[in-house]
Amino acid sequence: MTHLPYIVASYGLAAIMALVLSIGAALRLRRARARLAALEQTNNRSAGTPFTP
């Protein structure tokens, strides 16, 4: 392949960016979901009424 370093650099940048963005979003979503579930559970237990959005 001609211009291999340039191609590798481009695809490498794209891969790094995709990984950082998608893993970041997945982790954030998981953390938020777990935290919300825990909070709603304690809330329901103490208040006795289910949380409705």
Write out the binding residues for another protein, residues 5-34 only, by CB under 8 A: 6-7, 9-11, 13-14, 17-18, 21-22, 25-26, 28-29, 31-33
Query: Considering only CA atoms, which of 34, 39, 35, 36 is closest in space to residue 47?
Result: 39
Asked whether 51 and 43 are in contact (CB, 8 A), the reply is: yes
Question: Alpha carbon 20 to chain centroid distance?
Answer: 10
Under the criterion CB under 8 A, does residue 40 sit at the interface with another protein?
Answer: yes
- The contact set with another protein (CB under 8 A) reads 1-4, 6-7, 9-11, 13-14, 17-18, 21-22, 25-26, 28-29, 31-33, 35-36, 38-40, 42-43, 45-47, 51-53
